[in-house]
Structure 1
Amino acid sequence: MGHPYELSKEIELAATPGQVWEAIATGPGVDSWFMGRNEVEPREGGRSSLTMAGNTSEATVTAWEPGRRFATRTETGPDGGFMAIEYLIEGRDQGSTVLRMVQSGVLGDDWETEYDAMTVGWDMFLDTLAAYLQHFPGQSGVPVEAYRADVGTADQVWAAVAGALEISGPVTDGAKARINLDGVPPIEGVVDLSRLPTYVGVHTDDALLRFVLSGAERGHVLLLSHHLFAADQDRAQAEQAWQSWLNELPIS
């Protein structure tokens, strides 16, 4: 039997309502901070889609009020499950904006695990949205993904990631990071999200890098969800390089 749910989050963003709208209601904007590759048909009744790990999910645009309100809803499945997302945009003084996100729908039998994962996931994505609007406003990011399943315990994974990022000392916001990726000069940045044992983020001059551990309930998957802003990025080439980096990560 399905379990109805509602999840809401709110964040203040250093951006105008127009900039926030472009980030949440256009395909290139969503690609710059959210998961997967996204498309949005710009009208009420239009279609939106999310492609991730070779799978595409679609939804209908149920609200299209530029600069104010954007919402989508998936079709109801045979088991009664569906997902709806609504964004409410409110401009504030000095060019800032408050964004409220409400996700609702019906989850399956393992709804508590799914709900907890979505709660943590939205914290990361909204913080990434804030970083995108702060550091790369108006730019379109190239989303890059890589996956490695059955990676081991959280302690093992984050010790390996910290070592590969050449982080000396605790993994905390502001820690310096350096990444060696095949075929490109060393990548240097700073940790801008440290929410262990679930995720770590690194901000560089031309990228937002996100390292996410799913946990035992979801297969011990280490996911890379990056957004690259350098000119002329080759997504396929970048994904291959990052997948090789992930495959070779010495987790023990």
Structure 2
Amino acid sequence: MRHEFEVRDEIALDATPEQVWEAISTGPGIDSWFMGRNEVEPREGGTATHTMMGYTQTSTVTAWEPSKRFAYQSAENPDGTFMAFDYLIEGRAGASTVLRLVHSGFLGDDWEAQYDALKKGDPQYMRKLAAYLKYFPGRHSTFNTLLPGPQVPDQERVWEAFKGVLGLTGTIAAGDRVRLTVPGLPEAEGVVASTDYPSIPSVCTDDALYMFMHGYRDTVVVEQHSFIPGVDAEATDNAWKSWLATAFA
């Protein structure tokens, strides 16, 4: 049985409508803050694809108004489920923008857990978009990874692990300086871009944007977007997989 859902969110961004448009409606822009690999055919009725962990989802662009509105809807699954994203861009004074999102559609039998994850995740991806536009304007990621780890019901344990890899103690707040230390990867200094205790902190270094999630069905997830060439993808993935395994052994 399918279940209708809707998640709404909005955020003020220190970016022009044109910068926001490029970030949400082009493949390289979306890759720089969202999940997986994305391609967008730039027209209403065009095709948008989203590829992650070996699976590709195909959508149709349902609204294409440059610097104003971008919307797309996934193909309907055999059980009638689908997702639709509708972004509305509103320019403000001082080269700033308000971005509004309506995420809707129909979820399947596991709809309660999925809906809970979407209610938490959608606002955090909007904040991650804000971090991308603030810390990496005009740049595109050269390497993306999303690595799911174990399911860990203990929120405090997850939060302590997040703080540990960031070299933090006590309460985490936006603006806190961090030292990211992952065995197998170079240490990197950065800043907390946003935080949502006890679920998700986002962090920016000079070269990368990270998000640490405690999301769907208590799964721990690490995301990384790198903005420099020559990243060793295999070594990076293996280092994060090792951290996920040891941090929650």
Question: Which of residues 222, 225, 235 in structure 1 aligns to 2:233?
Answer: 235
Tell me the residue number matched to 1:17: 17
Q: What SS does structure 2 have at the residue aligned with 1:94? A: coil
* Cα displacement (A) at 1:184: 4.0
Aligned residue for 1:57?
57
- Secondary structure of the residue aligned to 2:228 is coil
Partner of 1:40: 40
CA contact (8 A) 1:84 1:103 kept: yes
Equivalent residue letter for 1:98: V
| RMSD across aligned positions (CA) | 1.9
2:154 matched residue in structure 1: 153
Q: How far apart, in 1, do the equivalents of 2:91 and 2:161 lie?
A: 42
Say if 1:144 and 1:228, in contact at 8 Å, map to a contact too.
no
- Across the two proteins, how many residue pairs are aligned to each other? 248
Q: CA–CA distance in 1 between the matches of 2:103 and 2:162?
A: 31
Structure 2 residue 114 is matched with structure 1 residue 128: no
CA drift of 1:20 comes to: 0.6
Q: Kindly state the Cα deviation for residue 228 of structure 1 after the two structures are TM-superposed.
A: 1.4
- Residue by residue, what CA displacement relative to the aligned partner does 1:175-215 show, whole Å, maximum 9, x if unpaired? 33212234543111122222122112222112111110126
TM-score computed with the length of structure 1 as normaliser: 0.90
Shift of 1:102: 1.0
**CA distance change for structure 1 residues 7 and 169 in 2, over 3 Å: closer, same or farther?**
closer
Distance 2:150 2:185 in 1: 26
Aligned-partner residue type, residue 220 of structure 2:
L
More displaced, 87-96 or 24-33? 87-96
Q: How far, CA to CA, are the matches of 1:131 and 1:160 in structure 2?
A: 22
Provide structure 1 residue ranges, at least 5 long, that are not aligned to the other structure. none
Identity over aligned residues, as a percent? 48
After superposition, residues 1-252 of structure 1 pair within 5 angstroms as 1-141=1-141, 142-214=143-215, 218=217, 220-249=218-247, 251=248
Q: CA deviation at 1:241?
A: 2.6
- The normalised TM-score by structure 2 is 0.91
How many Å separate the matches in 2 of 1:108 and 1:146?
Answer: 24
The answer on whether the counterparts of 1:181 and 1:187 sit within 8 Å (CA) in structure 2 is no
| Offset of residue 110 of structure 1 | 3.3
Partner Cα separation in structure 1 for residue 207 and residue 34 of structure 2: 17
Give a deviation string over 1:64-119, Cα, whole Å, max 9, x none. Answer: 22111111111222222111111111111111111111111112233233222111
1:152: how far off?
4.9
